[in-house]
Structure 1
Amino acid sequence: MTRTEYLAKLHKYLKKLPKQDYDEAMDYFTEYFDEAGPENEAQVIADLGNPKEAAHEILSNLLGKRMGEAGRNASKNTQNILWIALLAILALPVALPLLIVILVLLLTLVIVIFALLLTLAALSLASLVTGFALLWESLTQLTFDLPALAIGLGSSFLSIGLAILLAILTYHLAKASQFIMISFIQWLIKGGKKS
Protein backbone atom coordinates (compact mmCIF):
# COMPACT_ATOMS: atom_id res chain seq x y z
CA MET A 1 0.00 0.00 0.00
CA THR A 2 1.34 3.45 -0.88
CA ARG A 3 0.96 6.73 0.95
CA THR A 4 -1.68 7.92 -1.55
CA GLU A 5 -3.73 4.73 -1.16
CA TYR A 6 -3.45 4.91 2.62
CA LEU A 7 -4.63 8.55 2.73
CA ALA A 8 -7.45 7.77 0.24
CA LYS A 9 -8.76 4.95 2.44
CA LEU A 10 -8.39 7.15 5.52
CA HIS A 11 -10.35 9.86 3.71
CA LYS A 12 -13.15 7.33 3.06
CA TYR A 13 -13.42 6.47 6.78
CA LEU A 14 -13.14 10.05 8.08
CA LYS A 15 -15.15 12.01 5.51
CA LYS A 16 -18.26 12.16 7.76
CA LEU A 17 -16.42 14.07 10.46
CA PRO A 18 -17.02 17.81 10.86
CA LYS A 19 -14.78 19.78 8.48
CA GLN A 20 -12.46 21.11 11.17
CA ASP A 21 -11.88 17.68 12.74
CA TYR A 22 -11.47 16.06 9.33
CA ASP A 23 -8.89 18.67 8.25
CA GLU A 24 -6.94 18.28 11.51
CA ALA A 25 -6.82 14.49 11.19
CA MET A 26 -5.79 14.50 7.53
CA ASP A 27 -3.15 17.20 8.18
CA TYR A 28 -1.72 15.09 11.01
CA PHE A 29 -1.34 12.00 8.80
CA THR A 30 0.02 14.00 5.83
CA GLU A 31 2.64 15.67 8.05
CA TYR A 32 3.52 12.28 9.57
CA PHE A 33 4.21 10.90 6.11
CA ASP A 34 6.10 14.08 5.07
CA GLU A 35 8.40 13.93 8.11
CA ALA A 36 9.21 10.26 7.55
CA GLY A 37 9.99 10.82 3.90
CA PRO A 38 9.18 8.68 0.85
CA GLU A 39 11.78 6.04 1.73
CA ASN A 40 10.08 5.29 5.10
CA GLU A 41 6.45 5.09 3.84
CA ALA A 42 6.25 1.33 4.45
CA GLN A 43 7.52 1.78 8.03
CA VAL A 44 4.99 4.61 8.69
CA ILE A 45 2.13 2.49 7.36
CA ALA A 46 3.23 -0.40 9.59
CA ASP A 47 3.44 1.95 12.61
CA LEU A 48 0.00 3.47 11.96
CA GLY A 49 -1.73 0.17 11.22
CA ASN A 50 -4.39 -0.21 8.58
CA PRO A 51 -6.48 2.91 7.73
CA LYS A 52 -9.62 1.50 9.33
CA GLU A 53 -7.85 1.06 12.70
CA ALA A 54 -6.32 4.54 12.48
CA ALA A 55 -9.72 6.06 11.67
CA HIS A 56 -11.28 4.14 14.58
CA GLU A 57 -8.63 5.49 16.96
CA ILE A 58 -9.22 9.06 15.75
CA LEU A 59 -12.98 8.70 16.16
CA SER A 60 -12.54 7.26 19.66
CA ASN A 61 -10.22 10.11 20.69
CA LEU A 62 -12.58 12.71 19.24
CA LEU A 63 -15.57 11.15 20.98
CA GLY A 64 -13.71 11.11 24.30
CA LYS A 65 -12.74 14.74 23.83
CA ARG A 66 -16.37 15.75 23.06
CA MET A 67 -17.69 13.78 26.01
CA GLY A 68 -15.20 15.53 28.33
CA GLU A 69 -16.28 18.96 27.03
CA ALA A 70 -19.95 18.07 27.43
CA GLY A 71 -19.32 16.87 30.98
CA ARG A 72 -17.57 20.13 31.89
CA ASN A 73 -20.40 22.19 30.35
CA ALA A 74 -23.05 20.13 32.14
CA SER A 75 -21.18 20.57 35.41
CA LYS A 76 -21.03 24.34 34.87
CA ASN A 77 -24.75 24.50 34.00
CA THR A 78 -25.65 22.49 37.10
CA GLN A 79 -23.50 24.79 39.21
CA ASN A 80 -25.18 27.88 37.72
CA ILE A 81 -28.64 26.44 38.37
CA LEU A 82 -27.72 25.67 41.98
CA TRP A 83 -26.42 29.24 42.51
CA ILE A 84 -29.59 30.74 41.04
CA ALA A 85 -31.76 28.49 43.22
CA LEU A 86 -29.73 29.43 46.30
CA LEU A 87 -30.02 33.14 45.51
CA ALA A 88 -33.76 32.77 44.95
CA ILE A 89 -34.15 31.07 48.33
CA LEU A 90 -32.07 33.74 50.06
CA ALA A 91 -33.98 36.56 48.33
CA LEU A 92 -37.36 35.10 49.26
CA PRO A 93 -37.65 36.88 52.66
CA VAL A 94 -37.14 40.23 50.90
CA ALA A 95 -38.91 39.53 47.62
CA LEU A 96 -42.08 37.95 49.00
CA PRO A 97 -43.17 40.95 51.12
CA LEU A 98 -42.32 43.28 48.22
CA LEU A 99 -44.40 41.18 45.88
CA ILE A 100 -47.31 41.20 48.32
CA VAL A 101 -47.07 44.99 48.72
CA ILE A 102 -47.03 45.49 44.95
CA LEU A 103 -50.04 43.21 44.48
CA VAL A 104 -51.95 44.97 47.27
CA LEU A 105 -51.15 48.38 45.75
CA LEU A 106 -52.34 47.21 42.34
CA LEU A 107 -55.53 45.80 43.82
CA THR A 108 -56.08 49.07 45.73
CA LEU A 109 -55.59 51.06 42.53
CA VAL A 110 -58.14 48.91 40.70
CA ILE A 111 -60.64 49.33 43.54
CA VAL A 112 -60.11 53.12 43.65
CA ILE A 113 -60.60 53.43 39.88
CA PHE A 114 -63.72 51.27 40.04
CA ALA A 115 -65.07 53.33 42.96
CA LEU A 116 -64.37 56.58 41.08
CA LEU A 117 -66.21 55.30 38.01
CA LEU A 118 -69.12 54.09 40.13
CA THR A 119 -69.28 57.46 41.94
CA LEU A 120 -69.27 59.40 38.67
CA ALA A 121 -72.02 57.16 37.27
CA ALA A 122 -74.08 57.60 40.45
CA LEU A 123 -73.59 61.40 40.35
CA SER A 124 -74.64 61.45 36.70
CA LEU A 125 -77.79 59.45 37.47
CA ALA A 126 -78.59 61.57 40.52
CA SER A 127 -78.10 64.76 38.54
CA LEU A 128 -80.35 63.44 35.77
CA VAL A 129 -83.10 62.46 38.23
CA THR A 130 -82.77 65.84 40.00
CA GLY A 131 -82.97 67.68 36.67
CA PHE A 132 -86.17 65.92 35.64
CA ALA A 133 -87.64 66.38 39.13
CA LEU A 134 -86.86 70.12 38.99
CA LEU A 135 -88.33 70.32 35.48
CA TRP A 136 -91.53 68.64 36.66
CA GLU A 137 -91.72 70.82 39.73
CA SER A 138 -91.15 74.04 37.79
CA LEU A 139 -93.79 73.13 35.19
CA THR A 140 -96.33 72.42 37.91
CA GLN A 141 -95.53 75.85 39.44
CA LEU A 142 -96.36 77.61 36.16
CA THR A 143 -99.66 78.98 37.40
CA PHE A 144 -98.28 80.43 40.62
CA ASP A 145 -95.03 82.30 39.98
CA LEU A 146 -93.15 83.21 36.78
CA PRO A 147 -89.71 83.89 38.42
CA ALA A 148 -89.93 80.52 40.21
CA LEU A 149 -90.66 78.88 36.85
CA ALA A 150 -87.57 80.51 35.27
CA ILE A 151 -85.30 79.50 38.16
CA GLY A 152 -86.73 75.96 38.16
CA LEU A 153 -86.33 75.55 34.39
CA GLY A 154 -82.77 76.91 34.51
CA SER A 155 -81.84 74.64 37.42
CA SER A 156 -83.36 71.60 35.75
CA PHE A 157 -81.54 72.21 32.45
CA LEU A 158 -78.30 72.83 34.35
CA SER A 159 -78.75 69.57 36.25
CA ILE A 160 -79.56 67.59 33.07
CA GLY A 161 -76.54 69.13 31.28
CA LEU A 162 -74.32 68.25 34.25
CA ALA A 163 -75.68 64.67 34.11
CA ILE A 164 -74.78 64.40 30.43
CA LEU A 165 -71.26 65.78 31.03
CA LEU A 166 -70.70 63.38 33.93
CA ALA A 167 -71.91 60.45 31.79
CA ILE A 168 -69.47 61.39 29.01
CA LEU A 169 -66.62 61.78 31.54
CA THR A 170 -67.47 58.40 33.09
CA TYR A 171 -67.46 56.73 29.67
CA HIS A 172 -64.05 58.15 28.68
CA LEU A 173 -62.50 57.34 32.05
CA ALA A 174 -63.80 53.78 31.81
CA LYS A 175 -62.31 53.38 28.31
CA ALA A 176 -58.95 54.85 29.44
CA SER A 177 -58.89 52.59 32.51
CA GLN A 178 -59.66 49.55 30.37
CA PHE A 179 -56.86 50.42 27.93
CA ILE A 180 -54.36 50.97 30.76
CA MET A 181 -55.31 47.70 32.49
CA ILE A 182 -55.03 45.68 29.26
CA SER A 183 -51.68 47.27 28.40
CA PHE A 184 -50.36 46.56 31.90
CA ILE A 185 -51.51 42.93 31.82
CA GLN A 186 -49.90 42.44 28.39
CA TRP A 187 -46.70 44.01 29.73
CA LEU A 188 -46.73 41.58 32.67
CA ILE A 189 -47.34 38.60 30.39
CA LYS A 190 -44.45 39.57 28.12
CA GLY A 191 -42.17 39.75 31.14
CA GLY A 192 -41.81 43.51 31.36
CA LYS A 193 -40.28 43.93 27.89
CA LYS A 194 -41.31 46.70 25.56
CA SER A 195 -42.98 45.53 22.37
Structure 2
Amino acid sequence: MDKASYLKKLRWKLRRLPVQEIDAALAYYEEYFEEAGQENEQQVIKQLGSPSAVAAQIIADFALKDIDSTASSTKKNMTTLWLVILAILSAPLSLPLLATVFLLILTVGIVIFSIIFSIIAVIVSIFLGGIAAFIAGFLVLMEHWPTALLFMGLGLIVIGISILLYPFVARVIKKIGQVSVQIVSQLFHKITKKRQEEF
Protein backbone atom coordinates (compact mmCIF):
# COMPACT_ATOMS: atom_id res chain seq x y z
CA MET A 1 0.00 0.00 0.00
CA ASP A 2 1.35 3.45 -0.89
CA LYS A 3 0.53 6.94 0.36
CA ALA A 4 -2.22 7.62 -2.23
CA SER A 5 -4.14 4.41 -1.55
CA TYR A 6 -3.74 4.88 2.23
CA LEU A 7 -5.21 8.41 2.09
CA LYS A 8 -7.97 7.22 -0.28
CA LYS A 9 -9.02 4.48 2.16
CA LEU A 10 -8.82 6.95 5.05
CA ARG A 11 -11.10 9.37 3.18
CA TRP A 12 -13.57 6.52 2.58
CA LYS A 13 -13.59 5.56 6.27
CA LEU A 14 -14.20 9.19 7.31
CA ARG A 15 -17.10 9.72 4.87
CA ARG A 16 -19.67 10.21 7.69
CA LEU A 17 -17.84 13.26 9.09
CA PRO A 18 -18.42 16.84 7.86
CA VAL A 19 -16.39 17.72 4.75
CA GLN A 20 -14.20 20.28 6.55
CA GLU A 21 -13.23 17.69 9.18
CA ILE A 22 -12.30 15.16 6.48
CA ASP A 23 -10.23 17.75 4.59
CA ALA A 24 -8.44 18.86 7.76
CA ALA A 25 -7.58 15.27 8.74
CA LEU A 26 -6.34 14.34 5.27
CA ALA A 27 -4.28 17.53 5.02
CA TYR A 28 -2.62 16.65 8.33
CA TYR A 29 -1.74 13.07 7.30
CA GLU A 30 -0.63 14.13 3.84
CA GLU A 31 1.76 16.65 5.42
CA TYR A 32 2.92 13.88 7.78
CA PHE A 33 3.78 11.68 4.80
CA GLU A 34 5.56 14.54 3.00
CA GLU A 35 7.71 15.37 6.03
CA ALA A 36 8.79 11.72 6.32
CA GLY A 37 9.71 11.60 2.64
CA GLN A 38 8.77 9.23 -0.15
CA GLU A 39 11.42 6.70 0.83
CA ASN A 40 9.87 6.33 4.32
CA GLU A 41 6.21 5.82 3.21
CA GLN A 42 6.03 2.18 4.32
CA GLN A 43 7.57 3.03 7.69
CA VAL A 44 4.98 5.81 8.24
CA ILE A 45 2.15 3.46 7.27
CA LYS A 46 3.38 0.89 9.81
CA GLN A 47 3.72 3.63 12.44
CA LEU A 48 0.22 4.99 11.86
CA GLY A 49 -1.53 1.66 11.62
CA SER A 50 -4.41 0.75 9.35
CA PRO A 51 -6.65 3.43 7.81
CA SER A 52 -9.55 1.94 9.80
CA ALA A 53 -7.72 2.49 13.14
CA VAL A 54 -6.76 6.06 12.23
CA ALA A 55 -10.32 6.80 11.06
CA ALA A 56 -11.75 5.40 14.32
CA GLN A 57 -9.46 7.69 16.33
CA ILE A 58 -10.43 10.75 14.25
CA ILE A 59 -14.16 9.94 14.55
CA ALA A 60 -13.80 9.47 18.34
CA ASP A 61 -12.01 12.81 18.68
CA PHE A 62 -14.71 14.53 16.64
CA ALA A 63 -17.45 12.95 18.77
CA LEU A 64 -15.77 14.17 21.99
CA LYS A 65 -15.41 17.68 20.57
CA ASP A 66 -19.07 17.67 19.54
CA ILE A 67 -20.13 16.53 23.04
CA ASP A 68 -18.07 19.33 24.64
CA SER A 69 -19.62 22.01 22.41
CA THR A 70 -23.13 20.63 23.07
CA ALA A 71 -22.50 20.65 26.83
CA SER A 72 -21.24 24.23 26.64
CA SER A 73 -24.30 25.45 24.72
CA THR A 74 -26.58 23.52 27.07
CA LYS A 75 -24.93 25.21 30.05
CA LYS A 76 -25.48 28.64 28.46
CA ASN A 77 -29.12 27.79 27.77
CA MET A 78 -29.60 26.64 31.37
CA THR A 79 -28.08 29.89 32.68
CA THR A 80 -30.48 31.90 30.52
CA LEU A 81 -33.39 29.75 31.68
CA TRP A 82 -32.47 30.29 35.35
CA LEU A 83 -32.26 34.06 34.81
CA VAL A 84 -35.74 34.05 33.24
CA ILE A 85 -37.12 31.97 36.11
CA LEU A 86 -35.48 34.30 38.64
CA ALA A 87 -36.96 37.34 36.90
CA ILE A 88 -40.43 35.77 36.93
CA LEU A 89 -40.17 34.80 40.59
CA SER A 90 -38.87 38.22 41.64
CA ALA A 91 -41.59 40.09 39.68
CA PRO A 92 -44.07 40.18 42.61
CA LEU A 93 -41.38 41.87 44.69
CA SER A 94 -39.71 44.04 42.08
CA LEU A 95 -42.84 45.47 40.41
CA PRO A 96 -44.18 47.19 43.57
CA LEU A 97 -40.65 48.38 44.35
CA LEU A 98 -40.34 49.81 40.85
CA ALA A 99 -43.76 51.47 41.15
CA THR A 100 -42.72 52.96 44.51
CA VAL A 101 -39.53 54.37 43.04
CA PHE A 102 -41.46 55.82 40.09
CA LEU A 103 -43.99 57.45 42.46
CA LEU A 104 -41.15 58.79 44.62
CA ILE A 105 -39.50 60.41 41.59
CA LEU A 106 -42.88 61.77 40.46
CA THR A 107 -43.54 63.19 43.95
CA VAL A 108 -40.13 64.88 44.06
CA GLY A 109 -40.87 66.40 40.64
CA ILE A 110 -44.28 67.68 41.81
CA VAL A 111 -42.77 69.17 44.99
CA ILE A 112 -40.05 70.95 43.00
CA PHE A 113 -42.62 72.25 40.51
CA SER A 114 -44.80 73.47 43.41
CA ILE A 115 -41.86 75.33 45.00
CA ILE A 116 -40.95 77.00 41.70
CA PHE A 117 -44.60 77.88 41.00
CA SER A 118 -45.08 79.36 44.50
CA ILE A 119 -41.91 81.49 44.19
CA ILE A 120 -43.08 82.82 40.81
CA ALA A 121 -46.57 83.43 42.23
CA VAL A 122 -45.13 85.43 45.17
CA ILE A 123 -43.03 87.65 42.85
CA VAL A 124 -45.95 88.21 40.47
CA SER A 125 -48.32 88.96 43.35
CA ILE A 126 -45.84 91.47 44.85
CA PHE A 127 -45.53 93.17 41.46
CA LEU A 128 -49.32 93.23 40.94
CA GLY A 129 -49.83 94.44 44.53
CA GLY A 130 -47.44 97.31 43.86
CA ILE A 131 -49.34 98.24 40.71
CA ALA A 132 -52.67 98.01 42.59
CA ALA A 133 -51.32 100.24 45.41
CA PHE A 134 -50.04 102.80 42.86
CA ILE A 135 -53.41 102.85 41.04
CA ALA A 136 -55.30 103.09 44.36
CA GLY A 137 -53.13 106.05 45.37
CA PHE A 138 -53.77 107.71 42.02
CA LEU A 139 -57.55 107.26 42.47
CA VAL A 140 -57.45 108.72 46.01
CA LEU A 141 -55.33 111.70 44.87
CA MET A 142 -58.35 114.05 44.55
CA GLU A 143 -59.84 113.14 47.95
CA HIS A 144 -56.80 113.04 50.25
CA TRP A 145 -53.44 113.76 48.64
CA PRO A 146 -51.17 112.63 51.57
CA THR A 147 -52.81 109.17 51.55
CA ALA A 148 -52.57 109.10 47.77
CA LEU A 149 -48.85 109.92 47.90
CA LEU A 150 -48.36 107.23 50.54
CA PHE A 151 -50.12 104.59 48.41
CA MET A 152 -48.34 105.69 45.24
CA GLY A 153 -44.95 105.66 46.99
CA LEU A 154 -45.58 102.25 48.55
CA GLY A 155 -46.73 100.95 45.17
CA LEU A 156 -43.55 102.18 43.47
CA ILE A 157 -41.38 100.72 46.26
CA VAL A 158 -43.10 97.32 45.99
CA ILE A 159 -42.79 97.35 42.16
CA GLY A 160 -39.11 98.21 42.52
CA ILE A 161 -38.56 95.42 45.05
CA SER A 162 -40.25 92.87 42.76
CA ILE A 163 -38.12 94.03 39.80
CA LEU A 164 -34.96 93.79 41.93
CA LEU A 165 -35.94 90.33 43.17
CA TYR A 166 -36.58 89.00 39.66
CA PRO A 167 -32.90 88.19 38.74
CA PHE A 168 -32.29 86.61 42.15
CA VAL A 169 -35.47 84.54 41.91
CA ALA A 170 -34.61 83.52 38.31
CA ARG A 171 -31.19 82.28 39.50
CA VAL A 172 -32.76 80.42 42.44
CA ILE A 173 -35.32 78.76 40.15
CA LYS A 174 -32.56 77.79 37.69
CA LYS A 175 -30.45 76.35 40.55
CA ILE A 176 -33.42 74.42 41.95
CA GLY A 177 -34.07 72.99 38.48
CA GLN A 178 -30.43 71.93 38.04
CA VAL A 179 -30.21 70.38 41.51
CA SER A 180 -33.51 68.54 41.07
CA VAL A 181 -32.45 67.11 37.70
CA GLN A 182 -29.13 66.06 39.24
CA ILE A 183 -30.85 64.40 42.24
CA VAL A 184 -33.34 62.55 40.05
CA SER A 185 -30.61 61.36 37.65
CA GLN A 186 -28.41 60.17 40.55
CA LEU A 187 -31.36 58.35 42.10
CA PHE A 188 -32.21 56.73 38.76
CA HIS A 189 -28.53 55.79 38.23
CA LYS A 190 -28.31 54.17 41.69
CA ILE A 191 -31.50 52.20 41.10
CA THR A 192 -30.41 50.92 37.68
CA LYS A 193 -26.93 50.09 39.05
CA LYS A 194 -28.46 48.03 41.86
CA ARG A 195 -30.69 46.23 39.35
CA GLN A 196 -27.67 45.38 37.20
CA GLU A 197 -25.72 44.09 40.22
CA GLU A 198 -28.64 41.82 41.15
CA PHE A 199 -28.40 40.13 37.77
After TM superposition, the score normalised by the length of structure 1 is 0.58
Q: Aligned ranges for residues 101-180 of structure 1 at < 5 Å?
A: 101-141=100-140, 144-146=144-146, 149=149, 151-164=150-163, 165-166=165-166, 168-170=168-170, 172-174=172-174, 176-177=176-177, 180=181
In the superposition, the TM-score normalised over structure 2's length comes to: 0.58
Task: Write out per-residue CA displacement over residues 70-129 of structure 1, whole angstroms, 9 at most, x where no aligned residue.
Answer: 211211111111211222122222211111111111111111122222222222221111
Of the three residues 43, 46, 65, the one matched with 1:43 is 46
What is aligned with 1:75?
Answer: 74
Match of 2:90 in 1: 91
Q: Give aligned pairs, total.
A: 171
- Separation (CA, whole Å) in 1 of partners of 2:75 and 2:62: 20
Structure 2 residue identity aligned to 1:184: S
- State the Cα distance separating 1:130 from its structure 2 match: 0.9
Aligned residues of 1:130 and 1:156 also touching (Cα < 8 A): yes
- Cα distance in 1 for partners of 2:154, 2:2 equals 116
1:135 shift after superposition: 2.2
Q: Does 1:184 align with 2:188?
A: no
Q: Is the 8 A contact 2:140 2:148 kept in 1?
A: yes
> What is the aligned-residue RMSD (CA, Å)?
4.8
1:137 positional shift: 3.0
Alpha-carbon separation, structure 1, partners of 2:138 and 2:159: 15
Q: 1:42 to 1:61 in 2, by over 3 A?
A: closer
- Asked if structure 2 preserves the Cα contact closer than 8 Å seen for 1:134 and 1:156, the reply is yes
Q: Is the 8 A contact 1:131 1:156 kept in 2?
A: yes
The answer for unaligned runs of 5 or more in structure 1 is 8-15
In the alignment, which residue of structure 1 is the partner of 2:17?
none
CA distance in 2, matches of 1:158, 1:192: 53
Gaps in structure 2 of 5+ consecutive residues = 8-19, 195-199
Whether the 8 Å contact between 2:137 and 2:151 is mirrored in structure 1 is: yes
Preserved CA contact (<8 Å) 2:139 2:148: no
